Structure 1
Amino acid sequence: MLPDLVQYLWIGWLVLAVVFVIIELLTLEFTFLMLAAGTLIGGLGVNLLGGEWWLQVLAAAGVAALLLFTIRPLLLRALHRSSQHIPTNVDALTGMSARVVGAFTDGDGAVKLDNGETWTARLADASASVAPGQRVTVTAVRGATVVVAPEEGTPA
């Protein structure tokens, strides 16, 4: 009975590789892709060359381990290199310039951001004074209010 199972072991290697690829599609971390490659190259390769079943298992484990520790880190580094953080929504407002459109009273006023939106604003330094038309920079966002500071080199 054992010789019959060993004779069709190549089917097991193919099924195992397909299972690993399906799991990789769900995880997207290149771990199961390396295991699938080890299964195909090591296990199925040695099987097709006529190697014993224990040699097939050792070859599959060895190739998978080699790929996991050499190729996978390179792939992950290449994948994450292109994914730089791009601020969006409210995070993109910090550092944006604006023009004062409403007079500041007690540190509160209104500004029109460079993206065209008008926001309620609060001065970062309540003792500073800004006049309508003056340029300011957004330093933070607090709810529906932006915290602003006069731009460097802008007359007060």
Structure 2
Amino acid sequence: MNDLMDWFRDNLWAGWGLLAMALAAAELLTLDLTLLMLAAGALTGGVVALVLPGLVWLQITVALITAVATLFLLRPTLLAKVRASKGYRSSLDSIVGSKGRATAMITGHSGEVKVEGQVWEARSFDPTITIEEGEEIEVFSLDGVTLSVYPTNRPLTQ
């Protein structure tokens, strides 16, 4: 165990590399690019460790500066490009077309539904229709955090 610690102390670049790989792998679970930016910081810390192995304070400083810079400068640009790409649908947009159930009476102005296990504010797609509690609904659109819904057991009138 002591030999392993000595080896890592002498080859700190490997520790930085393992950290970068772990963060990059964890990014695959989140897909929000935050962990990837932290992995970039760890990678630059590893490069500094490879070139200047004795300056741990410089390795940490470079890693932190890189991580913060990529988080605030690169990540927003990359997220904007991803969200603007053809065919992108956010998780909120994917709720359109889902079916659910009214958990309170729904009017053209207010109401509440449960869709995919989550409770949402809702209003009737057709303001002249009232949807009773317990009726099945379909989500037509999303306006902020309010769903525009219509009962599935009635023909669409609008």
Please give the TM-score of this superposition, normalised by the length of structure 1. 0.55
In the TM superposition, what is the alpha-carbon distance from 1:5 to its structure 2 partner? 4.6
Residue identity (%): 33
1:26 corresponds to 2:29: yes
Structure 2 gap ranges (5+): 100-127, 130-148
Alignment partner, residue 146 of structure 1 = 155
Alignment partner, residue 6 of structure 1 = 9
* CA displacement, residues 63-116 of structure 1 (integer Å, 9 cap, x when unaligned): 01000001101111111123255896479xxxxxxxxxxxxxxxxxxxxxxxxx
Moved over 4 A (4+): 1-5, 84-91
| In 1: Cα distance, 2:97 partner to 2:69 partner | 43
Kindly report which structure 2 residues correspond to 1:1-156, keeping only aligned pairs within 5 A, or say none.
5-41=8-44, 43-50=45-52, 52-82=55-85, 83=88, 85=93, 89=97, 141-149=150-158
| In 2: Cα distance, 1:3 partner to 1:9 partner | 10
Structure 1 gap ranges (5+): 92-123, 126-139, 150-156
Query: Residue 20 of structure 1 contacts residue 35 of structure 1 at CA under 8 Å; is this kept in 2?
Result: yes
Query: Residue 90 of structure 1 contacts residue 141 of structure 1 at CA under 8 Å; is this kept in 2?
Result: no
| In 2: Cα distance, 1:59 partner to 1:3 partner | 23
Give 1 or 2 for the bigger CA radius of gyration. 1
Structure 1 vs Structure 2 CA RMSD:
3.0
